[in-house]
Amino acid sequence: MTIEIKAPALPESVPDGTIATWHKNLGDTVKRDELLVDIETDKVVIEVVSPVDGTLTKIFKETGDTIVSNEAIGAVKEGEVEQAKPSAASNEVPAAPEAAKEAESDQAESDQPISPAARKLMQEHNLTPEAVAGSGKGGRITKEDVLAKIEVVEAPPALDAVTSGGRIEERVPMSRLRSKVAERLLEATQSTAMLTTFNEVNMKPIMDLRSKYKELFEHTHSGTRLGFMSFFVRSCVEALKKFPAVNASIDGNDIVYHGYQDIGVAVSSPRGLVVPVLRNADHMGMAAVEQKISEFGEKARDGKLGIDDMTGGTFTISNGGIFGSLLSTPILNPPQTAILGMHKIQERPMAIKGEIKILPMMYLALSYDHRMIDGKEAVQFLVTVKDFLEDPSRIVLEI
């Protein structure tokens, strides 16, 4: 029985996808739940697995082709997966010792957590599993891991890429995610009246609180670590309640006021910056926020974030400080009308009641759509966030 392999159902916000990598070739045997193909969308990479044991008999969509929801992309003929039988020629001529050793080596390597596409690349470039650091789940070596290793150990192959003066250029197409990010950033700068207001926050109260309770917090909440982001999420949630325009979005000529706070948290992934969303953050405690952000971070690193994880959001927080950024102007994430930028914590001399003190300070930046939010509202919102952070007890008391 032949079973069609179909693309998964995509949400309305994702009209199509692209075949990124086939991990099997025509005629290859496959096992149930074995990875067949990666489909890249504007938001995530979706893995499509085989529904049965059998043989891949048809590929309708090649690498780079565009697909839509539930479109047939290949077919598997159901049947038992058997070991390949030796040919008559191989029965007559014994295998050479070197070939036997190579076969044993291949068998040993097959037990390593390596994707089929990565294994093929490693064989082509004479790389061993020990030479490549796996970034996938459980240390799985992915195709991207191998490509990164190849870039380090091998010079660019094309001589015509070398220009005068010995300088080297390499031209590669944008990934679908990078292309979509570029499109959205350009749209945000061209279709919104974006303005940024700045302030600074004394991080000492939060740092002291973390230092005092971090061990008890981790023990109480099953190993969950108390980070800075939960303070910022909770502070923004309370500030958004006071200034609902900052939590609104623009839909054509309409303003949509959201009666909930879904906070997008920008995190880095091997494919670029992604923004998973904390749903109903107004109902989440500090521990729940930290647990969910940790989960998002792991899924982003493993390429496991789903479309539902990144759909929606009423407000976004971006932390450039983890990369060392001291000050920046974050770009809006339409249709949202505001985004908060966090930055590096740096000790600076501050005048406090006539005295100079060295305090751990952080610059905050709020970019907002001036069509929707007045400057007064934006400044007051940012000051409110600052007040919550400098007196964290107000977060608990919601005052």
Q: Which domains does the chain have, with CATH numbers?
A: 1-84 (2.40.50.100), 90-172 (4.10.320.10), 178-397 (3.30.559.10)
Amino acid at position 202, single letter: N
DSSP 126-158: T--GGGS---SGGGPBPHHHHHHHHHHHS--S-
The answer to whether the predicted template modeling score (pTM) of the entire model surpasses 0.85 is no
Residue with more model confidence, 112 or 131: 131
Please give the radius of gyration of the chain, using alpha carbons only, rounded to the nearest integer: 26
Amino acid at position 188, single letter: A
User: Could you give the 3-state DSSP secondary structure of residue 19?
Assistant: strand
Q: What percent of the chain has pLDDT over 70?
A: 83
> Among all chains, which residue has been given the structure tokens 């949630």?
237
pLDDT at residue 398 in the model? 72
Q: Is the pLDDT of residue 106 over 60?
A: no
Token representation of residue 284: 């989440």
Average of pLDDT values for 252-281?
89
pLDDT at residue 43 in the model? 67
Nearest 5°: the CA angle 373, 379, 380 is 95
pLDDT at residue 114 in the model? 80
Query: Does residue 119 contact residue 140 with C-beta atoms inside 8 Å?
Result: no
Residue with more model confidence, 94 or 361: 361
pLDDT at residue 84 in the model? 43
Contacts of 211 (CB under 8 A, 6+ apart): none
What kind and span of H or E run contains 125? none
Q: Is the pLDDT of residue 23 over 50?
A: yes
pLDDT at residue 103 in the model? 41
Catalytic residues: 370, 374
pLDDT (tens digit, 9 = 90+) per residue, 116-150? 667 777 877 778 887 887 766 667 787 767 777 76
